[in-house]
């Protein structure tokens, strides 16, 4: 997202085409094709070893593709929780409500300081969904420091 574009609910999601589209497609196609090759090798009674290795490498690729994103998101979630807890503490002198789930805290990071505390209270009390929290934000606080 360019620095000139104002971030808001409609455009805040970030997609990296190389990862979200190209790599996802490559991992899927490789897994499917290697599975077909393995199945044909098993029926033909030849090339089983090579087919099994290719299929195993494809499965390993699938796990790597999944976990490299999952681990990065976990680390990012921990940082966001700490940042938003500190922000809430600076604004109120108290830590975030323990009833808030991680998805809610991630959604609350987009709220401006002026509406943050009230929205935290409402989100915890009403157990709001993250998407509903984002929709309730009137003054969007952009996240321009993500890769």
Q: How is the chain split into domains, by residue range?
A: 9-136
Please compute Rg for the chain using Cα positions.
Answer: 22
| Greater pLDDT, 15 or 114 | 114
Backbone angles phi, psi at 142, to 5 degrees: -70, 155
- Measured CA distances, 132 to 97, 108, 119, 125, 145 (Å): 18, 10, 11, 14, 24
Task: Tell me the pLDDT tens digit for each residue of 36-47.
Answer: 999 999 999 889
CB count within 10 Å of CB 116 equals 21
Among 87, 30, 101, CA closest to 59: 30
Pick the more confident residue, 67 or 11.
67
Distance from C-alpha of 143 to C-alpha of 147, rounded to nearest angstrom:
10
**Would you say the pTM of this structure is higher than 0.85?**
no
pLDDT at residue 14, as a whole number: 73
């Amino acid at each position: 997202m360019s620095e000139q574009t104002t971030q808001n609910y409609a455009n805040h999601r970030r997609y990296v085409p190389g990862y979200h589209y190209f790599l996802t497609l490559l991992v899927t196609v490789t897994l499917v094709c290697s599975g077909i090759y393995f199945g044909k090798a098993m029926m033909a009674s030849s090339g089983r070893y090579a087919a099994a290795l290719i299929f195993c490498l494809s499965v390993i690729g699938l796990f790597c593709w999944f976990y490299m994103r999952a681990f990065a998101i976990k680390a990012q979630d921990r940082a966001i929780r700490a940042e938003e807890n500190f922000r809430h503490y600076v604004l109120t002198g108290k830590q975030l409500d323990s009833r808030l789930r991680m998805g809610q805290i991630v959604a609350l990071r987009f709220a401006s300081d002026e509406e943050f505390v009230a929205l935290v209270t409402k989100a915890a009390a009403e157990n709001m969904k993250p998407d509903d929290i984002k929709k309730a934000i009137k003054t969007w606080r952009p996240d321009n420091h993500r890769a």
